[in-house]
């Protein structure tokens, strides 16, 4: 018996809703974290993750089913909402776990910059991302939210906004609702992985790019209603310049590429004796890049500040790092000594979803190229334009991969083409399946039905891989970005009581002292440089820890995150990071050159007295 379209959508929506509700019950019944935990994935039972996967798959399934269904219903909206709610629950897990703060790293510095704004009443000279901080200050000062709530709400909000922005763009570009829903379904998985959880201006600003493109195309599609799209385009271009400079450069380049692709497309059409579809470029098409350039240049009005910021951005793009992302990661991988199977598993865990989308979108671009080279066919103008934009995105990612830029994460540099991948994939494969005619499932050839099945499997595979890469864990060989309350309290105590003339050595599991000081005192506070505590506290080579530090005074900061940091790696790769055993800690406690001066169960402060163990000074003591 053949089920009606609405029945299938209702069943998927009901199943997904039940799964999501059951997952919320598991969250409610699970006690919050008592301290630092190795991974959020280990905090919940396996069936909880099955429920999350099921809820996400059902939501995406409704979108995909409605994209190719012969009978269209309004149940696609239920699927879209189910996707957004499931993603929101997944991104809200640090709140549900009761983390004092999440994530560590840049977010703590961003909180410090928000504190600077609240303390001084203005944006500091070193603040390159004022939009994020102004939004954060509004939530802190006006809404009265906590720091942890702000750093969880902002990424989740922009992540949900990204899906809605893609949907808006798809509605203005797609020939029908089916094509728009396929594009939206491609954007539904959390393919940017852990970047969805970070207070990261580069990623958050990238999530706004589809909205800028929406207003860009809306003015072209509805020229009689151009005033509002033009005004909003200018507003977003201005805001983007204060959001992140690199995203601004990418949007300027991308819009120019779209305009140029239109010129090239019309020339190709004329060479083939075809009437080009779509209108030519006008001066309004250059308004967004022009606005971006102007605002970018007058970010700070004084000439010295302009030149300084241009140098900073130029250095970021050309000399931001001593080694490229490719060289840095390949050298680290080689030094880790992972087996072939471990390397493949790590690649799938970290970059599997990106790889799937890169292959799908790359195939779509090749189909567009084949159509261009064919004498009898001419690609759709949007296919050609977004294939060109995807190539620009890949070019930007490749430049960041092999260049010495400030981009240090393969996932972060992938954002340039990932933002375009859903659009070009949905465009090309929908038209390839339907042949640009009214869709009828019964008329589809088996090969096209197989292509639909392959698309469904690709999107669901990306969704599942992304769910298990949203948070760091031993599977991706990375530490949990949780910051415990005891870590925060302990770092504040140390910053208020330390002798800043004594060098500090740390083992804080990825939570740097500089970030903690930014969090407590604002970014304007000067932070002393720190060094790493040697593995085993140096006891493998030296009898006393004072000898480890060449008989110099030191502070040692040790947290629970630092103690378990090595457990992120398989045993054959733990030589890559410092590791301490219980015997090492026993020797530290018995070492007369070291004394614990603070401890709260998670965060410890030790003082190393360099005179102890020095033969010349030991007798005097």
Distance of CA 482 to the CA centre of its chain: 16
Q: Among 126-140, 156-170, 265-279, which is the least confidently predicted range?
A: 265-279
Q: Is the dihedral of CA 468, 473, 475, 476 positive or negative?
A: positive
User: Using 50, 70 and 90 to split pLDDT, how confident is the model at 271?
Assistant: confident
**Tens-digit pLDDT profile for residues 327-349:** 878 888 888 888 999 999 999 99
Q: Roughly how many angstroms between the first and final C-alpha of the chain, as a whole number? A: 92
* pLDDT confidence band for 620 (50 / 70 / 90): very low
pLDDT digits (tens, 9 = 90+) for 114-133: 999 998 888 877 787 889 99
| Bigger pLDDT: 437 vs 138 | 138
pLDDT band with cut points at 50, 70 and 90 for residue 353: very high
Most confidently modeled of 1-15, 203-217, 321-335?
A: 203-217
Q: What is the pLDDT of residue 194?
A: 94
Lowest model confidence (mean pLDDT) among 91-95, 200-204, 294-298, 317-321: 317-321
On the question of pLDDT at 55 being above 70, the answer is yes
Reported as a pLDDT band with limits 50, 70 and 90, residue 574 is confident
Average pLDDT, the chain: 87
Predicted confidence at residue 246, as pLDDT, reads 86
Inform me whether the pLDDT recorded for 522 exceeds 60.
Answer: yes
**How far apart, in Å, are the Cα atoms of 226 and each of 240, 279, 294, 421, 571?**
21, 15, 22, 28, 61
Regarding predicted confidence, which is higher, 90 or 287? 90
pLDDT at 310: 57
pLDDT of residue 54: 98
**CA 467/CA 463 separation, integer angstroms:** 6
Does 520 or 446 have the greater pLDDT score?
520
- Predicted pLDDT of residue 406: 65
What is the rounded distance in angstroms from the CA atom of residue 392 to the CA atom of residue 434?
A: 28
Reply yes or no on whether the pLDDT at 255 is more than 70. Answer: yes
Indicate yes or no: pTM above 0.75.
Answer: yes
Query: What is the spatial distance between Cα 82 and Cα 20, in angstroms, rounded to a whole number?
Result: 8
Q: In the structure encoding, which two tokens stand for residue 311, read together? A: 């140098």
Residue 53 has pLDDT above 80, yes or no: yes
Phi, psi of 505 (to 5 degrees): -110, 140
Task: Say whether pLDDT at 617 is over 50.
Answer: no
> Once rounded to an integer, what is the mean pLDDT over residues 372-382?
86
| Residue tagged 């931001």 (tokens) | 320
Residue 327: its pLDDT value, please?
80
Rounded to whole angstroms, the Cα distance separating 554 from 606 reads: 8
Q: Beta-carbon neighbour count of residue 314 at 10 Å?
A: 11
Sorted by sequence, the CB contacts under 8 Å of residue 34 that are 6+ apart come out as: none
Q: What is the structure's pLDDT at 176?
A: 86
State mean pLDDT over 597-604: 93
Bond into 407 cis (ω within 30): no
Give the sign of the dihedral formed by CA 188, CA 193, CA 197, CA 202: negative
pLDDT at 566: 83
């Amino acid at each position: 018996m053949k089920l009606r379209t609405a029945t299938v959508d209702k069943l998927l929506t009901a199943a997904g809703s039940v799964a999501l509700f059951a997952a919320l019950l598991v969250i409610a019944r699970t006690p919050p974290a008592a301290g630092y935990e190795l991974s959020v994935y280990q905090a919940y039972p396996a069936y909880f993750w099955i429920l999350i996967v099921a809820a996400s798959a059902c939501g995406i399934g409704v979108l995909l089913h409605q994209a190719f269904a012969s009978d269209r219903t309004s149940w696609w909206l239920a699927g879209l909402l189910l996707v957004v709610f499931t993603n929101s629950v997944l991104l809200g897990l640090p709140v549900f776990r009761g983390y004092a703060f999440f994530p560590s790293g840049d977010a703590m510095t961003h909180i410090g910059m928000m504190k600077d704004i609240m303390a001084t009443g203005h944006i500091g000279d070193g603040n390159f991302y004022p939009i994020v901080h102004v939004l954060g200050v509004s939530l802190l000062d006006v809404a009265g939210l906590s720091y942890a709530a702000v750093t969880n709400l902002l990424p989740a909000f922009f992540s949900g906004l990204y899906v809605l922005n893609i949907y808006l763009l798809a509605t203005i570009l797609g020939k029908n609702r089916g094509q728009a829903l396929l594009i939206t379904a491609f954007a539904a998985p959390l393919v940017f992985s852990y970047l969805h959880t970070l207070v990261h201006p580069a990623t958050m600003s990238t999530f706004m790019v589809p909205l800028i493109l929406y207003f860009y195309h809306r003015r072209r599609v509805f020229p009689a209603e151009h005033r509002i799209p033009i005004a909003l385009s200018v507003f977003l271009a201005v805001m983007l310049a204060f959001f992140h400079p690199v995203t601004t450069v990418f949007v300027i380049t991308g819009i120019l590429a779209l305009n140029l692709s239109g010129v090239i497309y019309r020339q190709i059409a004329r060479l083939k004796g075809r009437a080009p579809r779509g209108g030519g470029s006008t001066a309004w098409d250059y308004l967004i890049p022009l606005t971006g350039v102007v605002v970018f240049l007058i970010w700070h009005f004084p000439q010295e500040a302009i030149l300084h910021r241009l140098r900073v951005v130029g250095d970021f793009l050309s000399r931001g790092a001593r080694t490229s992302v490719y060289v840095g990661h390949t050298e680290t991988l080689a030094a880790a000594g992972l087996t072939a199977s471990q390397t493949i598993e790590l690649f799938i865990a970290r970059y599997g979803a990106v790889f799937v989308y890169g292959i799908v979108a790359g195939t779509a671009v090749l189909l567009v190229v084949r159509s261009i080279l064919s004498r009898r066919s001419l690609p759709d103008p949007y296919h050609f334009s977004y294939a060109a934009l995807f190539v620009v995105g890949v070019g930007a990612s490749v430049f960041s991969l092999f260049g010495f830029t400030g981009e240090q994460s393969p996932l972060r540099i992938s954002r340039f083409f990932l933002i375009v991948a859903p659009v070009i994939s949905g465009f090309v494969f929908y038209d390839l399946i339907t042949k640009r005619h009214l869709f009828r499932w019964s008329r589809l050839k088996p090969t096209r039905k197989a292509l639909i099945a392959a698309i469904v499997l690709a999107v669901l595979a990306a969704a599942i891989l992304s769910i298990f890469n949203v948070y760091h864990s031993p599977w991706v060989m990375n530490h949990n970005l949780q910051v415990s309350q005891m870590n925060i309290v302990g770092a504040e105590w140390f910053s208020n009581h330390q002798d800043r003339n004594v060098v500090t050595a740390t083992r804080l599991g990825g939570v740097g002292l500089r970030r903690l000081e930014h969090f407590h005192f604002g970014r304007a506070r000067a932070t002393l440089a720190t060094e790493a505590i040697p593995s085993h506290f140096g006891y493998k080579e030296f009898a006393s820890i004072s000898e480890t530090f060449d008989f110099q005074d030191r502070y040692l900061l040790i947290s629970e995150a630092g103690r378990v940091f090595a457990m992120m790696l398989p045993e054959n790769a733990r030589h890559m990071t410092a590791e301490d055993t219980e015997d090492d800690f026993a020797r530290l406690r018995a070492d007369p050159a070291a004394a614990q001066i603070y401890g709260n169960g998670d965060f410890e402060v030790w003082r190393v007295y360099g005179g102890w163990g020095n033969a010349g000074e030991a007798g005097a003591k």
